[in-house]
């Protein structure tokens, strides 16, 4: 790893440059494009020439671009963290039921006809409550604790799916049911600055420990005795990574809906670029995740006149790629 460190750092720099370019291009895409020249004028002069352009920039384009980057970063970081903690290449941000819990909370809020901000709050709280229940069950399970957590996550996710199906059956088919279905497919079409303000704090609280202690995830592959000899408490590290990953997943899903495959596929692609060392893998996955979801969101809102939900596009791209990944020669890791 050491001898290739300049190459890996160069790869991270290239990904960051591509992300910056994608952000600039994203402003110029859409029904009301904002050119790079207009952006520079806004930065140096303090205002756009048109009040309408000012409103579009602050109320529509900026929060959507920032949230696409944040959600992509969160899903990729959580996916990479879970894969390291559980030592399972199939681990993803919804392995412990965070996504299904958020879906249950959002569906309940839509059934109750609550306003948009409350849908986000319900989704976030239900996601955290689901993870709390999973960890409680997993700690009481017999045998290996990691296996107990995974099985508890599958069980609670199944219960959430049943609850969602029942609420969809009871929902008004003309008004409420289409909203539920659209939310479950994942989209950033209705995000506003309030959603950004809601999601950014829990995401930062999760990102910072994951980034600072990312090197400890490497040691989770060792036995507890070996890790402790290096000054690392494996149980405490595992809990810290799971809690932080859950926090950022809950925040992401609560504002975007269910976006599958991104948290599973992006870490694997990043491993092919920078290797398995989490010192580089974690920041590279974060940047690549932001880039990936931003590009997907641009495609979803510009490919056709009607916006395509993000979950559909990520599945169309992620599933075939992962099928290729598991059928090619060599290990997933």
Every domain of the chain and the residues it spans: 74-301+309-327
**pLDDT tens sequence across 163-219:** 999 999 999 999 999 999 999 999 999 888 999 999 999 999 999 999 999 988 988
The answer to whether residues 96 and 246 touch, using CB atoms and an 8 Å cutoff, is yes
**For 20-24, 31-35, 68-72, 176-180, which range has the lowest pLDDT when averaged over its residues?**
31-35
The residue that leads in pLDDT, 319 or 141, is: 319
Q: With cut-offs at 50, 70 and 90, classify the pLDDT of residue 7.
A: low
Over range 236-240, report the average pLDDT. Answer: 90
Q: With cut-offs at 50, 70 and 90, classify the pLDDT of residue 298.
A: very high
Over range 70-96, report the average pLDDT. Answer: 93
Contacts (Cβ under 8 Å, ≥6 apart) of 148: 137, 138, 139, 140, 141, 142
Residue 223: the pLDDT is 67
Closest CA relative to residue 290, chosen from 7, 17, 6: 17
**pLDDT tens sequence across 135-167:** 999 888 877 778 889 999 999 999 999 999 999
Checking if the pLDDT of 274 tops 60, the result is yes
Closest CA relative to residue 123, chosen from 11, 304, 258, 228: 258
Closest CA relative to residue 137, chosen from 123, 124, 155: 155
Domain 74-301+309-327 indexed as CATH 1.10.3470.10: yes
Which sign, positive or negative, has the C-alpha torsion 313, 319, 322, 323? Answer: negative
Mean pLDDT score of the chain, rounded to an integer? Answer: 90
Q: With cut-offs at 50, 70 and 90, classify the pLDDT of residue 255.
A: very high
CA distances from 328 to 87, 94, 318 (A): 20, 25, 15
Helices (H), the chain: 5-27, 36-45, 51-56, 62-86, 98-111, 116-140, 145-170, 176-185, 193-212, 214-218, 224-229, 234-256, 262-274, 278-302, 310-327
Q: With cut-offs at 50, 70 and 90, classify the pLDDT of residue 229.
A: confident
Cβ burial, residue 320 (10 Å; 0-12/13-18/19+): exposed
Checking if the pLDDT of 121 tops 50, the result is yes
Q: Which secondary-structure segment (H or E) carries 69?
A: helix 62-86
The residue that leads in pLDDT, 223 or 108, is: 108
């Amino acid at each position: 790893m050491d001898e290739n460190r300049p190459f890996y750092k160069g790869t991270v720099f290239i990904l960051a440059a591509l992300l910056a370019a994608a952000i600039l291009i994203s402003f110029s895409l859409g029904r009301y494009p904002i050119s790079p020249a207009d952006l520079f004028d806004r930065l140096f002069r303090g205002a756009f020439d048109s009040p309408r352009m000012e409103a579009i920039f602050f109320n529509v384009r900026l929060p959507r671009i920032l949230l696409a980057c944040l959600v992509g970063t969160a899903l990729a970081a959580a996916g990479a963290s879970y894969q390291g903690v559980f030592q399972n290449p199939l681990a993803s941000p919804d392995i412990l039921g965070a996504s299904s819990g958020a879906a249950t909370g959002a569906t309940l809020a839509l059934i109750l006809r609550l306003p948009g901000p409350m849908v986000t709050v319900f989704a976030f709280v239900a996601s955290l409550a689901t993870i709390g229940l999973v960890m409680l069950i997993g700690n009481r399970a017999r045998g290996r604790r990691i296996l107990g957590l995974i099985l508890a996550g599958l069980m609670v996710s199944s219960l959430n799916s049943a609850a969602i199906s029942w609420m969809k059956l009871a929902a008004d088919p003309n008004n409420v049911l289409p909203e539920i279905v659209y939310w479950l497919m994942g989209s950033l079409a209705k995000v506003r600055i309030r959603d950004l303000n809601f999601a950014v704090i829990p995401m930062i609280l999760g990102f910072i420990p994951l980034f600072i202690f990312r090197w400890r995830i490497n040691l989770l592959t060792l036995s507890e005795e070996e890790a402790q000899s290096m000054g690392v408490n494996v149980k405490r590290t595992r809990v810290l990574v799971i809690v932080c990953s859950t926090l950022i997943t809950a925040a992401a899903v609560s504002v975007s809906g269910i976006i599958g495959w991104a948290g599973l596929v992006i870490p694997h692609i990043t491993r092919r670029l920078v290797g398995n060392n989490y010192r580089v893998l974690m920041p590279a996955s974060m940047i690549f995740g932001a880039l990936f979801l931003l590009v997907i969101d641009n495609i979803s809102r510009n490919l056709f006149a009607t916006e395509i939900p993000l979950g559909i596009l990520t599945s169309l791209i992620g599933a075939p790629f992962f099928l290729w990944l598991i059928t090619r020669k060599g290990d997933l890791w």
